[in-house]
Amino acid sequence: MTDAELITSLRQFNRWRRGDEAEPMPDPRRVGELIDRAADRLEAKQPAKKARRKK
């Protein structure tokens, strides 16, 4: 799934969540998958955290 497709799908879900009756109720499993994909992509853009040493 491209970033553009992910964004579109998440925006559709949010419109439904906010009460847009033109948007059908999404499958909750699909919403979970979309959230996981978005989180994974954001996480991948974060700089790697260095392991902290105990003193």
Chain segment 1-53, per-residue pLDDT in tens: 999 999 999 999 999 999 999 999 999 999 999 999 999 999 999 887 665 66
Residue position matching structure tokens 């992509």: 41
Q: Give the rounded distance of the alpha carbon of 1 from its chain centre.
A: 12
Determine contact, residues 37/4, Cβ cutoff 8 Å.
no
pLDDT at 53: 64
Residue 54 is predicted with a pLDDT of: 66
Read off the pTM: 0.76
Interatomic CA distance for residues 2 and 34, integer angstroms: 11
Instruction: Please report the pLDDT score of residue 48 as a whole number.
Output: 77
Q: What is the pLDDT of residue 37?
A: 97
User: CB of 10 within 8 A of CB of 34?
Assistant: yes
SS3 of residue 23 by DSSP: coil
